[in-house]
Structure formats: structure tokens, C-alpha cells
Structure 1
Amino acid sequence: MSRRLVNVTLDNLDDLPTRCRNCVYWELDPVACERAQESGGTALEKEAWLSDTLLEWGSCGQLIYIDGVPAGYVLYAPPAYVPRAVAFPTSPVSADAVLLTTGRIVAEFRGGGLGRMLLQGVARDIVRRGLRAIEAFGRADSGASEDSEDADYQCLLPADYLRAVGFKTVRPHPRVPRLRLDVRTTATWKEDVEYALERLLSSMQAPVLSR
């Protein structure tokens, strides 16, 4: 069984799960996101965002393949490239961190250490760029219904999962705390953190496209 970790590019963008490929929750501000959903242009907007980010900043995602089959992914970028980030009451993301927006391991490939490989890829990337941490906005509730006031937060990772795997709360909030995981060097990447990140990615759900 061969494993291959690659950067997300325009050439392999379609290997993301369909829901993620067509979701621009993070890539656009709330007004532009709603407009894109109404017009059916989310896939084009996602491609445009990736193209601009690759040209201006570089790699902003990792894909892992098992025997040529897409098995998991993570997406991340500096907060300046994630318009949705400024919409949260716990903004801004720290200047020395990237924002982990989403990630998932395909169900049939969970438990094989793929999450560890993905996050090691992110860690190596951000260390090379001189950054020190991964941050994420967590969802404090257990899951809001689509007609609740928290429906917009369904694309967030659960805060309980983030805390359980080593993220620390840097700005508390009853609904959307901001959390941080420091990654000083890949050489000090502990096995328990690797295992915790595998648990995190195995627990993630595909992002919601709209309300």
C-alpha cells in the first residue's frame, strides 16, 4: 500500500470531496459567500481563491493518497487569505500562526496514521515559512440546528475535540473560542500530539455548504 502526500494545487483540486470542493465558507466574506451560493458559482470561487493564494503565498493545503485514491486532506492559510476569519468575535488570528480551516480523513482510511502525516506536512510547511503555530476557531456547542442562530458556525471544528488533542484556548467565547497549537520544530513533534491530531482529523465532518 503506497502513501503519497502532496500539496493541494489547481491540478488536484477536484480530488477534494465534492462538498469541500464547492464550499467557500472560509474563502469569502459572509456577503460574498451568500451571493456565490445563490448564483451557483461556488466552485469557480474556490478555484479562484486557491489560484490567488498559491501565487501570492504558496501551498495552502495537503492531500494524501492511498494507492492513488484521495484519502484525506487539510486546508490552511494565513488569516489575511481567509476573509471569513474577521467575522468571528474572537478574531484576530495571531500573526505567527496559520488558520486551520478544515480537514477530513475518508472513513475507510481512518486509523492508519494519515492524520499524522497530514499535520506533519502542515508543521513542516509553516516552520519553513517562519511561523510558529496552528490556530482554529472552535465550535463550543455540540451541533446547532440549521435554523438556529449558530447555524453559520457549522463549518467550525468542535472546540472540545481541539482541546482534547492539545490545542489551548487563547481567546475564550461561549460559542466560538479561538484555540492554538504551538509547533516549534518538526524535530520536537511528539508522538502523543501526532496521535491526538489523528483523532482530531478522524472526527472531522465535511463542511456545510449553506444554511
Structure 2
Amino acid sequence: MSTSITSLTLEGLDKLSSHARRCVFWEMDPAVRTSPEFRDLHDPEFEKEAWLSMVMLEWGSCGQVALVDDKPAGCALYAPPSMVPRADLFPTSPVSADAILLTTMRLEPIGEEHGLGATLIQAAVGDLIRRGVRALEAFGIRGVDASSDVPAATAALECSPQECMINADFLEDIGFEVVAPHHRFPRLRLELDRDHLWKADVEAALDRLLEVASLSVVDIGEKSAVGAC
């Protein structure tokens, strides 16, 4: 079973899971998206692709994608907060001026089995450090109940704060710190520096070495089996 993490490209949108391709929780103004005249006409997958295209053309790659045996396993999406319509609608807004906003950290069941959450964040951090970004921020969510503090997405899209936001405990576990406390929607921040990049590069190199070693062991085993015959 092989796993890989790659930067999201316009040609690789099919590497996103079906939910990630259709979810516009962050990418559209909820007041517009839930209006009766708009709701019956819009195509969420088209809207998501249009948003991703806009961000990539104006700013560059805005995500990391995890695959397990070439099947979508998870993704991390991020962008300048000025490009994220929902970024100003939280009680802990706005995002700091020097930070990029991590909007999505989604794992499919197979991605959870392989523990790819931290690996996706490391890939995002490595990308942003190389581009000179100073910090990564995210709006976390605590608890399991819906809140009226943030307009919910339409149920038809299977989107909600619980479904489309990142668990605050997960963010804290991987090094984010709360910079704007809130009982439901804290804003958290991860300072980016060269140490993060060094760590990500070393771990990537170790992963490659382990993969080569495992392939060598398999190859030796196969040759031994042929020799025994």
C-alpha cells in the first residue's frame, strides 16, 4: 500500500474527495449561497473549482492532497484570508495580517487509518515557508453542537461547522497556539520558521529511505522464493 502527498494543481482536482470538491463552506459568502434565487441554480462543484482556479492563478498552489493507492485520502487547503469570504464572519476574526488561513483539513477514513493529518500539515508548512509566509492561522471548533455564531452551510451540501472546520484539539496537538480565545471558535496560530522546513525535509527523506528499504526487502524475498523453486 503506497501513500503520497502532493501539491494541489488545476489538473489534479480529481484527487480531492467528493465532499472536498463540492464543499463551498469557506469559499462563498453564506448570505449569497443560501439565498433562494441562488440556491436552486448554482453548482457547488463548479463554484469550488472556480474558487480554486482563482486562488491558484492569483496566488499559487493552495493545497496539499494525500493519496493512498492513488485514491483520495485527505487534503489541506489554505489561502490568503482576503480570498476566503467566510474569514471575516467569526467572533475571533480577523486573521492576522502576516498569516495565511488554513481553511480545510479533511481526512477520509483511509487517511485516518494511516494518520495522514499531521503529514498534510507538514507538507503545507513546507510549501508556505518556501514562499516566505510567516504564520499559518486557522479557526478551530470546539464541542459538537451547531452554533448560531457562524451561519451554517446548507444541509443539502452536507456542510456544517462540525463537518467543514478543523477540530481545535487537533490543531493544538500539532503545535498551533490559541491567539484569540472563544468557547466555540478559537483562532489558532502556528509560527513558521526554517526549523519547520528542516524537520519536514528530514522526515520526508526518512520516509523515502524507509520506502526504498521495504521495497528492497520485498525484492530479496521474491528472489529467495524463486531460488527455492
- The alpha-carbon distance between structure 1 residues 46 and 131, as it changes in their structure 2 partners (threshold 3 A), is same
2-structure distance, mates of 1:133, 1:113: 24
Residue 162 in 1 paired to residue 171 in 2? Answer: yes
Match of 2:103 in 1: 101
- The equivalent residue for 1:51 is 53
Q: Which has the higher contact order (CA 8 A, sep 6+)?
A: 1
1:28 has 2:39 as partner: no
Letter in 1 for 2:23: C
Residue 54 of structure 1 aligns with an amino acid whose one-letter code is M
SS of the residue aligned with 2:101? strand
Closer/same/farther in 2, CA of residues 109 and 91 from structure 1, 3 Å limit: closer
Q: TM-score, normalised by structure 1?
A: 0.78
**1:179 paired residue number:** 188
Amino acid at match of 1:33: R
| 1:39 aligned counterpart, secondary structure | coil
Contact 1:25–1:33 (Cα < 8 Å) also in 2? no
What is the CA distance between 1:113 and its match in structure 2? 4.8
Aligned partner of 2:198: which letter? A
1:119-138 aligned within 5 A: 119-138=121-140
Runs of at least 5 residues in structure 1 that lack an aligned partner in the other structure: 192-211
Aligned to 1:92: 94
Contact 1:137/1:157 (8 A) holds in 2: yes
- Unaligned 5+ segments in structure 2 are 153-160, 203-229
Superposition RMSD in Å: 2.4
Partner Cα separation in structure 2 for residue 188 and residue 70 of structure 1: 25
Residue number among 56, 64, 67 corresponding to 2:66 in the alignment: 64
Which residue of structure 1 aligns with residue 145 of structure 2? 144
Cross-structure match for 2:16: 16
Contact 2:76-2:120 within 8 A present in 1 as well: yes
Q: Across the two proteins, how many residue pairs are aligned to each other?
A: 188
Q: Is the 8 A contact 2:68 2:110 kept in 1?
A: no
Normalised to the residue count of structure 2, the TM-score between the two structures is 0.73
C-alpha separation in 2, matches of 1:117 and 1:161: 13
* Counterparts of residues 197-208 of structure 1 (less than 5 Å): none
CA distance in 2, matches of 1:161, 1:72: 15
Tell me the amino acid that sits aligned with residue 135 of structure 1.
E
**2:82 equivalent among 76, 80, 83:** 80
Q: Which has the larger share of helix?
A: 2
Structure (1 or 2) with the larger CA radius of gyration? 2
What secondary structure is seen at the aligned counterpart in 2 of 1:166? coil
Q: Does 1:4 align with 2:4?
A: yes
